[in-house]
Amino acid sequence: MKSLYSFAASAALAFAVSQPHTALAEPELTQLYYQQVLRQFEQGALAYEEGEYEAAFADLALAAQRGVKDAQYLLGFMYLRGEYAPQSLPVGLAWIGTALEVDNDEWLDLYTSLYNRLTPQQQVFIDSRVDKYIELYGMDTQRLTCEKVARAGSRRKIMQCIKTEDVTTPLYSLEAMPEGYIPPFSCEGDWPCVAGETRIYSDHDEFNPGQL
């Protein structure tokens, strides 16, 4: 992955205005296993590594909307750099700030290195934006629980998150979508609005993944 700090001093990061979008009147329900949600992140991360930013954005956005912390961080990174996503410091920091509901020193270093360069007024704006994103895409709304667990054969612990099963969670729309991007889920009205719903299956006999 590209250096996390190569753009930190760039003066090109601008405050973006959210973009309204219109489509479906009723949210569409998707029924998945949590592993399928994680696969959205994995596919997006792989596409990002290969420089396929449009494909990366599509997968990472869905996973981020559904609460996946790694996806939220990488999606925010794309907004900071303007990689397919429109370059936006507020949206980028909002996603990374939401990812930071879990402890990650590398993510925190990037966030604080940019946040500390802002004026007090800009910091207040970012704080409110992060609060809003956590309200929409954070662990409580997306019914995500995370804990550190030991890796097999190692004393090192990793963060493991899982989405609550058999509970329907909202899939909120995206702010500042790329020009020409058509999201798989959309809704009437300006951001934020409910673009869809997700239900994670716990009974594997009820759902055939091949139906996707």
pLDDT digits (tens, 9 = 90+) for 77-114: 999 999 999 999 999 999 999 999 999 999 999 999 99
Residue 204 has pLDDT above 70, yes or no: no
Does the residue 20 lie in any domain? no
Helices (H), 82-198: 89-99, 105-115, 120-137
Looking only at the bridges linking them, the beta strands covering 168-172 and 157-163 are unpaired
| Distant-in-sequence, close-in-space partners of 86: CB < 8 Å, separation ≥ 6 | 16, 79, 176, 177, 178, 179
Does the residue 167 lie in any domain? yes
**Per-residue confidence (pLDDT) for residue 13, from 0 to 100:** 43
Residue 151 has pLDDT above 90, yes or no: no
What is the CB neighbour count within 10 angstroms for residue 52? 14
Under a CB-based contact definition with an 8 Å cutoff, are residues 44 and 78 in contact? no
Does the residue 43 lie in any domain? yes
Give the C-alpha separation, 85 to 48, whole Å: 12
What residues make up the domain containing 191? 28-211
How much is the pTM? Answer: 0.84
Q: Torsion angle of alpha carbons 169, 170, 175, 177, nearest 10°?
A: 90
Average pLDDT in the chain = 86
% helix, strand, coil for the chain, step of 5: 40, 15, 45
Does the residue 185 lie in any domain? yes
pLDDT in tens, 156-179: 667 789 999 999 999 999 999 999
pLDDT in tens, 11-52: 334 444 444 444 445 789 999 999 999 999 999 999 999 999
Domain count, the chain: 1
Does the residue 53 lie in any domain? yes
Does the residue 8 lie in any domain? no
Specify the higher pLDDT residue, 169 or 154.
Answer: 169
